[in-house]
A and B are shown apart, each in its own frame.
Chain A
Amino acid sequence: MKPRIAPGQALAAIPKRKIESIERRLFLRRGLSLGALAMLTGCNVTDQESVEKALMAMSRWNDRVQGWLFDPTRLAPEYAESAITVPFPFNAYYGEDEAPEIDADDYRLELGGLIRDRKPWSLPELYALPQVSQVTRHICVEGWSAIGKWSGTPFRSFLERVGADTTAKFVGFKCDDDYYSSIDMPTALHPQTILAFRYADQILPAKYGFPMKLRVPTKLGFKNPKHIRAIFVTNEYPGGYWEDQGYNWFSGS
């Protein structure tokens, strides 16, 4: 999708929103550039919609399979701090200089959906929660990977503290960069899923998702939303920015 020149280099120097929408159109127009192939698979080349439907159905099937494969106790490998990738790459659907500036004093984390105590949280309150650290590999849907160190509070204990219905299916996230995403409840409760406030022992800079990012080392990078503004628990499939365009929703690793 975008050229990645070298590991660790800032990835998106140009605004990507435009590129993505062009690529999306190309997908619709050229998705079946190999027409003969589609005939071999028994699909009608002219009926592209049914091909897309079939592929989406396979993607839903793959969500289910990944749900079965997911072991809630299996931990992602952790690394020595010497293995950390420097500089850790920036990645988003926009350029690094477009990352939102968020005022720390005004910030409140909003809670919604199937949560008992929906009182908004200020940053000092969040920082006062028990903190853990992890050095794990971030794997991008594009294929590259990088090792980083994130610190924050275990998401499971946060969900339990606010009285979230942990029997619900989904946890959704709305972000201050207009990004949104959602994960399955078993992954939300995984011991390495953390609400991260720090990167490399420093308060998250804007480019890494200030004031907080969900760090999920058992999922691809785009399932790790940054600049989280609101968290909600629901049984209705919330989708996501990339998921709605065709990336596999579960995207577990």
Chain B
Amino acid sequence: MNTEQHSPWVRVHPLAVRLTHWINVVAMLIMVTSGWRIYNASPIFPFRIPGDITLGGWLGGALQWHFAAMWLLAVNGLVYLAYGIVSGHFRRKFWPISPAAVIADVLAALRGKLSHEDLSIYNAAQRAAYATLILAIVVLVLSGLAIWKPVQLQGLAALMGGYEGARIVHFVAMALAVFIVIVHVAMVALVPRTLHSMITGNVRRVRT
């Protein structure tokens, strides 16, 4: 950061993170909305998803979207994970995650007192939310593979309680991911300069 001391802008999100973030937004939007349509063909819980917020128009169309966008989600996700591990991004941004700090920050957030002064540092609530979202997407991909290939990948399917178990895992992981995304988008709405920084990568330097 020393070289940037005279710029009014501070780089908080590297290009690789911003690119994979926005590609992931598109992929998740397609996967979730087409997945809801597929779910409606044979619901495993006593409710359906309103058709108007689903993608594909009918089961066959939804499956086409789902099985096309899965490549985008998986390839983009692998690029992001590889970048996060190799560059040290995960270690720098996510470590350490302490349960006590997470609880303290979540409570502060609920009281509207969570500081976002320095956007280059994830607070504990962010660390927990983003790490859980990454984990939920990994589980979504694995359970999706088990549902898609319950014979060829029967070991993976068995880990999730077989084909029917994998369907439940897939749905629960989706619900968790959607919940985190809703909270995430609400937080962005409360602190709009975070949206700017995820597009340009920069935030205005805070003078103290």
Contacts and interface: CB of A to CB of B under 8 A. Distances in A.
A75 B151 CA distance: 7
Interface in B38-73: 38-39, 41-44, 52, 55-61, 63-65, 67-68, 71
A37 B72 CA distance: 14
Interface residues of A, number: 46
B39 A24 contact: no
A33 interface: yes
B154 interface: yes
Interface of A is mostly: loop
Nearest to B148: A253
A77 interface: yes
A40 B26 contact: yes
Interface of B is mostly: helix
Interface string B173-186: 00000000000000
A23 B60 CA distance: 10
Interface residues of B, number: 35
Contacts of A33: 52, 55, 57
A69 B65 contact: no
The 5 closest A-B pairs by CB, nearest first: A27-B57, A246-B60, A58-B68, A143-B42, A142-B41
Interface of B: 25-26, 29-30, 33, 38-39, 41-44, 52, 55-61, 63-65, 67-68, 71, 148-152, 154, 162-164, 167
Given A74-B152, A141-B41, 19 more contacts: A1-B58, A2-B41, A27-B56, A28-B57, A31-B57, A40-B29, A55-B68, A59-B64, A62-B67, A69-B152, A70-B152, A76-B151, A141-B63, A142-B41, A142-B59, A143-B38, A145-B163, A253-B148, A253-B151
